[in-house]
């Protein structure tokens, strides 16, 4: 039995000499032992500490072993704990009754140490194997649900832009077959190509977001100190490739604090928040980043833009993966905020959106602050 995770065995017996022998035997072999000298006390012990196995004497005054076992099996919490009866009775009827009330095995008094160790070890191993199998089944079920969710998200978010892309390409192909092309026609075709590029970028962003959603849900979080100035800088580098970024004005503090998190996820967080603010900020997007330490353990970041903002109804739905926000509306943020919300939540923070009296959106989020003594992680 591993000392790191010892199995807990509850001995229920009113015979001190038997209890002492079993206690020493099981403790010597790495088990953690609890003791109760009567049925009611055993029920109280199980209420406080759930054992991995119960060694239960049949013949006790008052509530005997059979009644105690019945009571244990009526409680959903202790129903699956294996009960091994200890009995001096050799009658088959007593053994049959023990199995009938929920016992899994029995040992005969006076108990033999080797037999007790063998039976206890077997049933503890079986219980842990069943628990592991149940945990694995739940994980498989969760992954299956994630796969179904991803399929629905793909169909939900990509169908409309894909239809628009195909229709636009068909129209473009038809126009290009007309000869000769006038200068006005060429300009119109160039405008159409630009529109199709925008649709393609939105589709790519959606696909990236969907993949990141599943990664954030599945991957274990191992937070390290992250310089948010570095993460924001990486995000700005990625955003430079977007034409709309060239017209944007961004105000950022000279320095940003460090937080505990995953660098790649936090870079994506900034890409999404700044990209949205630029994309939906109108002809001349202006946005600002602010930071406000809440306390020694928490930092609040704020991103403001000068776009038309979101209505109260849209703000309430913005974090839902299946929300349909029409892409032609300037205030629509699509899947991105759902991804950002998931990232912030996995880091133990909170994300919320507010309007501004003079227009625009104010997106705020909190993240755990990194201890001052920890060195920051780089990419």
pLDDT for 65 equals 95
Output the 3-class SS for the chain.
CCCCCCCEEEEECCCHHHHHHHHHHHHHCCCEEEEECCHHHHHHHHHHCCCCEEEEECCCCCCCHHHHHHHHHHCCCCCCCCEEEEECCCCHHHHHHHHHCCCCEEEECCCCHHHHHHHHHHHHHHHHHHHHHHHHHHHHHHHHHHHHHHHHHHHHHHHHHHHHHHHHHHHHHHHHCCCCCCHHHHHHHHHHHHHHHHHHHHHHHHHHHHHHHHHHHHCCCCCEEEEHHHHHHHHHHHHCCCHHHHHCEEECCCCCCEEEECHHHHHHHHHHHHHHHHHCCCCCCEEEEEEEEEECCEEEEEEEECCCCCCHHHHHHCCCCCCCCCCCCCCCCCCHHHHHHHHHHHCCCCEEEEECCCCCEEEEEEEEECCCCCCCECC
CB 278 within 8 A of CB 285: yes
Query: Which CATH number is 49's domain given?
Result: 3.40.50.2300
> Are 242 and 359 within one domain?
yes
Split into its structural domains, the chain has a count of 3
- Higher pLDDT pick, 140 / 177: 140
- State pLDDT tens for residues 184-206: 666 776 777 767 776 776 676 66
Q: How confident is the model at residue 278 (pLDDT cuts 50, 70, 90)?
A: confident
Instruction: Check whether 54 has a pLDDT greater than 90.
Output: yes
> Are 333 and 299 within one domain?
yes
Lowest mean pLDDT among 65-79, 239-253, 336-350: 239-253
Lowest mean pLDDT among 45-49, 214-218, 343-347: 214-218
- Higher pLDDT pick, 156 / 43: 43
**Residue 128 is assigned to a structural domain of this protein:** no
Instruction: Check whether 48 has a pLDDT greater than 60.
Output: yes
C-alpha span between 292 and 147 (Å, rounded): 38
pLDDT for 137 equals 87
pLDDT for 69 equals 97
Name the domain boundary from 219, 246, 269: 219
Instruction: Check whether 151 has a pLDDT greater than 90.
Output: no
> Are 279 and 289 within one domain?
yes
Name the domain boundary from 219, 235, 267: 219
**Residue 235 is assigned to a structural domain of this protein:** yes
> Are 367 and 241 within one domain?
yes
């Amino acid at each position: 039995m591993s000392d790191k995770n010892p199995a807990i065995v509850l001995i229920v017996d009113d015979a001190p000499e038997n209890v002492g022998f079993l206690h020493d035997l099981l403790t010597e072999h790495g088990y953690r032992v609890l003791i109760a000298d009567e049925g009611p006390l055993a029920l109280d012990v199980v209420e406080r500490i759930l054992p991995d196995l119960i060694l239960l004497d049949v013949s006790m005054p008052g509530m005997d072993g059979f009644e105690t076992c019945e009571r244990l099996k009526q409680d959903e919490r202790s129903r699956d704990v294996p009960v091994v009866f200890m009995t001096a009775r050799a009658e088959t009827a007593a053994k049959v009754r023990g199995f009938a009330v929920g016992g899994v095995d029995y040992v005969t008094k006076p108990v033999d140490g080797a037999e007790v160790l063998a039976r206890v070890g077997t049933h503890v191993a079986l219980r842990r194997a069943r628990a592991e199998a149940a945990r694995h089944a739940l994980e498989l079920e969760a992954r299956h649900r994630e796969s179904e969710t991803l399929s629905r998200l793909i169909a939900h978010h990509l169908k409309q832009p894909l239809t628009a892309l195909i229709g636009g390409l068909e129209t473009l192909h038809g126009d290009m077959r007309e000869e000769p092309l006038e200068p006005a026609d060429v300009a119109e075709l160039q405008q159409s190509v630009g529109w199709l590029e925008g649709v393609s970028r939105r589709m790519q962003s959606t696909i990236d977001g969907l993949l990141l959603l599943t990664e954030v849900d599945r991957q274990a979080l191992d937070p390290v100190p992250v310089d948010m100035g570095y993460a924001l800088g990486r995000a700005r580098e990625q955003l430079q490739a977007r034409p709309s970024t060239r017209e944007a004005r961004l105000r950022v503090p000279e320095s940003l604090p460090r937080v505990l998190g995953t660098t790649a996820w936090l870079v994506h967080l900034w890409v999404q928040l700044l990209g949205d603010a630029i994309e939906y900020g109108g002809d001349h997007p202006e946005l600002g980043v602010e930071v406000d330490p809440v306390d020694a353990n928490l930092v609040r970041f704020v991103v403001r833009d000068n776009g038309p903002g979101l209505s109260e109804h849209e703000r309430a739905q913005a974090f839902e993966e299946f929300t349909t926000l029409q892409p032609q509306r300037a205030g629509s943020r699509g899947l991105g905020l759902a991804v950002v919300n998931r990232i912030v939540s996995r880091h133990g923070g909170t994300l919320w959106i507010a309007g501004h009296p003079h227009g625009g959106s104010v997106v705020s989020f909190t993240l755990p602050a990194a201890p001052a003594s920890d060195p920051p992680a780089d990419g």
